[in-house]
Amino acid sequence: MAKPKLRRTLYIGLGGTGIKVIKEVKKNFLNNSASSLPSMVKFLCIDTNLGDLNGVPTEGEERLGTLEKIHMTVDEPAATLHAGGTIYDWIPKSNRDSVIDIEGTGAGQVRSNGKFIIEDVERKHETLSRRLTQLFSNLTSVTAEDQNYDILSATNIDVHLVFSLAGGTGSGMFLSVANLVRRYIPHANLMAYAFSPQFFTSVGVNWNITHNAYGALLELDYHMHGGKGKYTNVDRNITKKLFDSVMYIDKYTYTKNHLEDAFTYDFDEVKVIVAHALYLSAGEIGTNALSIVDNLRTAMNSGGYDMECPNGIKGAWVSSIGVSEIFCNPQADIEFKTIESAGNILKDLLDGERAGLTVTETNNWIGELNLDESQGDKDGNYLINRMLHPDSFKTPKSQSKITVYDSGTYDDSDFIKINDTVINSLKDSPAKVAEEKRKLILQKVKEELFPTSGVKTIGVKKLIQILSGLRSDILNSKKVLQGEIEEFSSKQENTDTIIKQSTENIAHERSRNRFVRDNDAIEDAKDAIRKQRVEYYKYQLEIDRRTAAIEVYDILDKFVDSYIHESTGFLSQLKSNLESGIEKLEEKANNDFSSKVLSRESTSIDLTSRANRLTTASTERHPIDDWNKFFSELEYASIENLAPKADWDTTAVSIFNSHQSADATGPIIVRIMNTYSKEERIQKYKDLINRARPLMEISSFGERINPSDFIFVSYPCNLSTDKDESDKMLAKFKTEFEEALGSDKFEVIPQKDNNKILMYRQMGVIPPFYIQGISYKKNTLSNPESCEALYLKYINKAGDRRKVKPFTDSYFEDAYEKGGHSLDSEYGIYVSKMDLWVDCFILGLIERKDDLYRIEYNKGEIEFMPPFKAWKNLGTTRTEAYEAFEQSDNEFISYLKEKREQLLLNTEVSAQRQKFYGVGENKVALYMNSSLLDFESEEFKTPNVQDLIRKECDFLRQNQ
């Protein structure tokens, strides 16, 4: 079967919002890729809060890999800001105190903090630049097919940038990140997903939410007007758009012609919807959606979606998305059977399932383990022979070493020493033998509880009986050995009696004839003493090996007793799970797999029916979380060796595989066609369309606009019917879907998944101020709760608490004056004087002193302070200074050029100059390094591109 195809795709999340969405996207890939990530898909998350970035994932949330995250912060923000001087002129004065809130814990809900952090980090370390370079290399080098996906033949890399407009990190960084993506991932398809402030107005620090969003939207509006000749009758300064498309993500849904229900979601619901759309964007549906992006880009650049309003031409650039699905869970039957099997396994573990099995048949473990010493020689003496085999002492060596004196006394120390040396080398220690037997017992338990080859479990109840019987047998054998020890002790006493009698015989013979030599009676008595000492030694060895065996029994007795106790606890836990756990699982199964009324906000339509469950021939391993979770609750602290978790997982997989059906079912479209009437099918398709509502609410003023609606619907292509039948079914589907949609403007995409129909719905571009909750009267709309209205109230309210500006203080028509980045490397104003102007700053010929720009000139006013240089005053503002410089006569310009050449003869000075821009790099391109000026200052009340570049000159001058 052909594998799904994916585009080379990079997902980037900024701040808390972006990271949560990207983690959800990653989970989509893992859930659909057998827990492995496709090689042509990469993830990157950037945050200023280290705790949030590295925190423990919440339940159901994916963990980020080391190379999938970047933490950005400024260690000494106040000192860095102070040292930067005019580099950070763009930070509003009212925001400067807020930088103390940075230091690794976030951006403090202040956009300028987020921008300040990324600019400082990139200037010093180029952290993101290097990572993007590596990701570009990794993605472009992907050519081979991986295990689960093929690669789509697309030249460009798709980059999806997700962020919130409302906070400090994402809202402050997105322009900088987008520009770096453009620089280090050439020709990328760059798409933004901007989350509305509506999600966050009741979360945490919310006093600056709407103002941040409004400022960010103004800047986006400026950047998305690249390529426009006019904008409210004013020439534009940028020629390229920053993003290929911008998806505005709101908690409210767009309603087409007011015929669809308007729904309201919370963030967690929208996170799942957007993540699903982002996941789909990497595949075949994404390929078709990108063709729409291309068409939209052409239409936007030609003004095809612009609106003429009472106060000017409004550019359109905002889009939105929605997804929905009809699915039928093909694993419902398998999963339910698995849950039922879990209950059966637990019952089996309790009671056992071997028909006719009796305790008598199972409690012979003591014999199988060679531990039975209760039958004398009939049991084979396995254990005591293991402790010391009798062959080693039946004929003790060197009996002659026993010396018996004429007095009847004896010395057998040499005899014992020689034989002990031999015998001790043949002994096994009780501890060693007990450990071996303990392992054998554990193995027996595992084999009986978790048998293989189709053998049934004996159950924990039976196990406890067996273990109790084993312990009883151990104690019985121990008792028998203790009796045998008494017998051998009695025999030792007999040898002592014989030795005593022999000694008396020797004494009697000597008293009768003390001078008699070679007395046979005396020699016979000595031989008797030697023999009895050998017998005594042999009896002692019999006692010793039984004593060692008893020590083994003592160790095993304690072990088996503790095991009985643990098994009893395990039994209790199993009973508890049977009483409560199975009921919960069955209840869940009933809820999950029965036909139920879905909430109207849901984007999914579940056709799975408990009464009509599907089966599948697929051998792909699917999650059986409920079953595994159920068994994970059985983990019993002291029973770990009895039922290690690995065994439960193995058993779970075994149960799952045993319930795979060999009969394949027809795909979902076949089920729909065969199960529902035409009217019911059309209603299902209408429901599918309705549930894919784009996540953006249009204002009431938006009734005059009719955004384009792009519909993509997947269709199972792995049909089991013949081609003619498949073609007829597809034609019927298209006809009925067209009737449900009321239009033929949709595209059917082949999909490998037979059990799901997906719908991806993209709303065409509109001007941003038609979004509900954005604009106010200045844009001919009236919404007292809009971002604009709340912002104006905020900045005009005297005595308000800590004021932090979001960089902008006007409305959309003025956004072009509030610019930030530009993607142009040449601006059409690059002249030799500008080149000289920049060099004058770099080489120290221009300085700013006492709020006055002045330049070193031999015909200027001489300063009456060492080193008595002559200076020409240029003006109090950058604008005045550059105008004076630009209007200077040729003599002045010639002097400066000559001065520059003299200075550059010095290699150190020349090297310092090259520090700021390399050979061949346009100086003016340094404009990209800083943006978001302090528009509240009088100096930049009406800035133009020259003003911005002059600001960069100060940036260069400060960094010498």
pLDDT in tens, 689-702: 888 888 888 876 66
Task: Return the ∠ at Cα 32 (arms to 38 and 675), rounded to 5°.
Answer: 145
pLDDT band at 951 (very low <50, low <70, confident <90, very high): low
With a pLDDT cut of 70, the percent of the chain lying above it is: 64
Q: What average pLDDT does the segment 802-813 reach?
A: 42
pLDDT band at 191 (very low <50, low <70, confident <90, very high): very high
User: What does the pLDDT read at residue 455?
Assistant: 65
Q: Where are the alpha helices (DSSP H) in 257-398?
A: 267-281, 284-301, 332-351, 359-362, 365-368, 382-387
Number of C-beta neighbours around residue 431 at 10 A = 11
Per-residue pLDDT at 649:
46
d(CA 227, CA 507): 134
Tokens found for residue 777? 């009267």
Q: Is the pLDDT of residue 927 over 90?
A: no
DSSP assignment, residue 453? T
Confidence at residue 7, expressed as pLDDT on a 0 to 100 scale: 86
Asked if 550 and 436 count as a contact pair (C-beta separation under 8 A), the reply is no
- More confident of the two residues 287 and 756: 756
Q: Sorting pLDDT into bands at 50, 70 and 90, what band is 844?
A: confident
Contact indicator for 857, 889 with CB cutoff of 8 Å: no
Q: What share of the chain is helix, strand, coil (3-state, %, to 5)?
A: 55, 10, 35
Distance from C-alpha of 897 to C-alpha of 460, rounded to nearest angstrom = 96
Contact (Cβ atoms closer than 8 angstroms) between residue 89 and residue 933: yes
C-alpha span between 123 and 915 (Å, rounded): 12
Supply the pLDDT for residue 194. 96
Around Cβ 294, how many Cβ atoms within 10 Å?
12
3-state secondary structure of 846: strand
Separation of alpha carbons 190 and 184, rounded Å: 12
Q: How many Cβ atoms sit within 10 Å of the Cβ of residue 267?
A: 18
Residue-level pLDDT at 670: 79
Instruction: Read off the pTM.
Output: 0.55
Gap between the Cα atoms of 699 and 262, Å rounded:
12
For 410, residues 6+ apart whose C-beta sits below 8 A from its C-beta are: 402, 403, 404, 499, 529, 530, 533
Across residues 741-756, what is the average pLDDT?
Answer: 79
Which of 17, 163, 135 lies closest to 65 in space, CA to CA? 135
Q: In angstroms, rounded to a whole number, what is the distance separating the alpha carbons of residues 128 and 151? A: 26
What is the arithmetic mean of pLDDT over 291-309?
68
Do residues 785 and 198 touch, judged by C-beta distance below 8 A?
A: no
Count of beta carbons in the 10 Å neighbourhood of residue 703: 11
Mean pLDDT along residues 439-467: 77
Residue 754 binned pLDDT confidence (cut-offs 50, 70, 90) = low
CA dihedral for 12, 15, 16, 18, sign (positive or negative): negative
Nearest to 536 by CA among 495, 479, 586: 495
759-795 pLDDT, tens digit per residue, is: 888 887 887 777 877 765 544 445 555 565 655 555 4
Give the pair of three-digit tokens for residue 133: 């370079």
Q: What percent of the chain has pLDDT over 90?
A: 11
619 pLDDT above the threshold of 50: no
Per-residue confidence band for 34, with pLDDT thresholds at 50, 70 and 90: low
Q: Would you list the domain boundaries of the chain?
A: 8-197+209-250+270-320, 338-593, 826-958
Predicted confidence (pLDDT) per residue in 848-895, tens digit: 777 788 888 888 888 777 777 888 888 887 667 777 887 788 788 888
> Over the stretch 396-438, which tens digit does the pLDDT of each residue have?
777 778 888 877 788 888 888 888 877 777 678 899 999 998 8
Would you give the distance in Å from CA 795 to the centre of its chain? 41
Determine the Cα–Cα distance for residues 729 and 721; give it in Å rounded to an integer.
10
Can you tell me which residue has the tokens 């925190």? 55
Asked if 285 contacts 714 with a C-beta cutoff of 8 angstroms, the reply is yes
pLDDT at 372: 86
Hunting for tokens 């304690």 — which residue is that?
558
Long-range CB contacts (within 8 A, 24+) of 521-529: 522/406, 525/408, 526/404, 526/502, 528/498, 528/499, 528/502, 529/402, 529/404, 529/408, 529/410, 529/499, 529/502, 529/503
Which of 254-268, 291-305, 906-920 is least confident? 906-920
Helices (H) and strands (E) in the chain, counts: 29, 22
Q: Who contacts 591 (Cβ-Cβ below 8 Å, separation ≥6)? A: none
Q: What is the DSSP letter of 638?
A: G
Q: Cα 179 to chain center, whole Å?
A: 27
- The average confidence (pLDDT) of the chain is 72
DSSP 8-state code for residue 109: T
| 120 contacts 110 by C-beta, under 8 angstroms | no
Q: Please check the confidence at residue 199 and state whether its pLDDT lies above 50.
A: yes
Q: 475: closest CA among 401, 399, 544, 373? A: 373
What tokens does 324 get? 């929905």
Single-letter code of the amino acid located at 727? D
CATH annotation of 8-197+209-250+270-320:
3.40.50.1440
Whether the CB-CB separation of 170 and 18 falls below 8 Å is answered with: yes
- Alpha carbon 257 to its chain centroid, in Å, reads 40
- Over residues 48-78, the pLDDT tens digits come to 988 888 876 776 678 888 899 999 999 888 8
Residue for token pair 């799901």: 756
Note the pLDDT of residue 43.
96
pLDDT of residue 821: 27
Window from 146-150, 190-194, 491-495 with minimum mean pLDDT? 146-150
pLDDT value of position 934: 30
The answer to whether the CB of 69 falls within 8 A of the CB of 20 is: no
Q: Contact at 8 Å (CB) between 193 and 789?
A: no
Cα separation values, 648 from 348, 634, 652, 853, 900, Å: 14, 9, 6, 78, 79
Q: What is the pLDDT of residue 784?
A: 56
How much is the pLDDT for 910?
Answer: 75
- Is residue 226 a contact partner of residue 217, using CB atoms and an 8 Å limit? no
pLDDT at 640 over 60: no
**What secondary structure letter does DSSP report for 252?**
B
User: In this structure, how many other beta carbons lie within 10 angstroms of the beta carbon of residue 116?
Assistant: 30
pLDDT attached to residue 482: 92
User: Out of 216-230, 250-264, 460-474, which region has the weakest mean confidence (pLDDT)?
Assistant: 216-230
More confident residue, 306 or 387: 387
Q: Model confidence over 163-172: pLDDT tens digits? A: 999 888 999 8
Taking residue 447's Cβ as centre, other Cβ atoms within 10 Å add up to 13
The rounded distance, in Å, linking the Cα atoms of 691 and 601 is 7
Beta carbons of 267 and 13 less than 8 angstroms apart = no
In single-letter form, the type of residue at position 403 comes to: T
What pLDDT does 293 receive?
Answer: 63
Spell out the SS3 assignment of 506-561: HHHHHHHCCCCCCCHHHHHHHHHHHHHHHHHHHHHHHHHHHHHHHHHHHHHHHHHH
- Residue 430 CA to residue 432 CA, distance in Å, equals 5
Tell me which residue has tokens 């060692």: 548
How many residues are present in the chain? 960
Rounded CA-CA distance 885/32 in Å is: 64
Residue in this structure with the two tokens 């090996």, named with its chain if needed: 545
Instruction: Encode pLDDT of 707-745 as tens digits.
Output: 778 888 888 776 666 778 888 888 999 999 999 988 888
Q: Within 13 Å of residue 635, how many CA atoms lie on the same side as its CB?
A: 9
